[in-house]
């Protein structure tokens, strides 16, 4: 398997199993980078560290930059590099999975971006919670829909506009087995019906 295309490319299709594998790889990378960040935190005095989906949306939130200090810099760098890497791999594999469902990559906007942005800015709507109910409901519906769509539903069986079905045996293992090339019928001149034998050297 071409791991560079699988984890970082945006063209083509992948099946459900490969998307689940990509999420497992992301979790393993998170654990590794969290260990690095904790080691850097022991030096600077900040021992707590973690990755959260909201870290991706805090990048565009000015309030998250007000309480930064120089002691936070090593942890912030590791978190920024890690978050960028995780986001790239998540988007690349998710878009290829959407292609497998014969959907454009733009479906990531309602499935991922809108719920994430709502979650990041939901506390700003606490005084207007009645007006925010439709937005919260839409974020919840899109989040569940996207999760089911990408992680549980089968892809297109035939070749679609994004490529061939990744599950086809002919695409992965070459030509299918042809029985006639390995089995021959040896006729008898008299007696019982013909007997099937495997060809020598097959």
| pLDDT tens digits, one per residue of 147-191 | 999 999 999 988 999 999 998 844 455 555 555 555 555 565 655
pLDDT of res. 45: 59
| pLDDT tens digits, one per residue of 132-148 | 889 999 999 999 999 99
Q: Which residue has the tokens 């299709």?
A: 13
| pLDDT tens digits, one per residue of 9-52 | 999 999 999 999 999 999 998 888 878 777 766 665 555 555 55
Rounded CA separation 164/143 (Å): 27
pLDDT of res. 125: 76
Tell the burial category of 24 from Cβ atoms under 10 Å away from its Cβ (0-12, 13-18, 19+).
exposed
Q: Which residue has the tokens 């805090």?
A: 58
The DSSP call for residue 187 is -
pLDDT of res. 16: 95
36-75 burial: b if 16+ Cβ within 10 Å, else e? ebbebbeeeebeebebeeebbbeeeeeeeeeeeeeeeebb
| pLDDT tens digits, one per residue of 62-110 | 665 666 666 666 666 777 777 788 889 999 999 999 999 999 999 999 9
User: Model's pTM, two decimal places?
Assistant: 0.70
pLDDT of res. 137: 94
pLDDT of res. 170: 41
């Amino acid at each position: 398997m071409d791991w560079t295309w699988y984890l970082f490319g945006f063209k083509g299709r992948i099946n459900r199993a490969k998307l689940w594998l990509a999420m497992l790889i992301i979790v393993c990378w998170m654990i590794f980078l969290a260990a690095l960040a904790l080691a850097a935190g022991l030096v600077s005095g900040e021992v707590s560290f973690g990755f959260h989906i909201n870290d991706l949306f805090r990048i565009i939130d000015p309030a998250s930059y007000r309480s930064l200090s120089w002691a936070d810099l090593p942890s912030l760098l590791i978190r920024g590099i890690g978050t960028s890497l995780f986001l790239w791999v998540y988007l690349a594999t998710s878009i290829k999975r959407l292609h497998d469902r014969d959907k454009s990559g733009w479906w990531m906007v309602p499935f991922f971006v809108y719920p994430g942005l709502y979650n990041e800015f939901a506390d700003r709507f606490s005084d207007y919670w009645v007006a925010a109910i439709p937005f919260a409901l839409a974020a919840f519906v899109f989040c569940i829909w996207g999760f089911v769509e990408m992680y549980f539903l089968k892809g297109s069986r035939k070749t679609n506009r994004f490529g061939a079905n990744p599950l086809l045996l002919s695409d992965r293992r070459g030509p299918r087995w042809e029985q006639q090339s390995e089995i021959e019928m040896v006729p008898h001149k008299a007696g019982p019906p013909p007997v099937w034998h495997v060809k020598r050297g097959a």
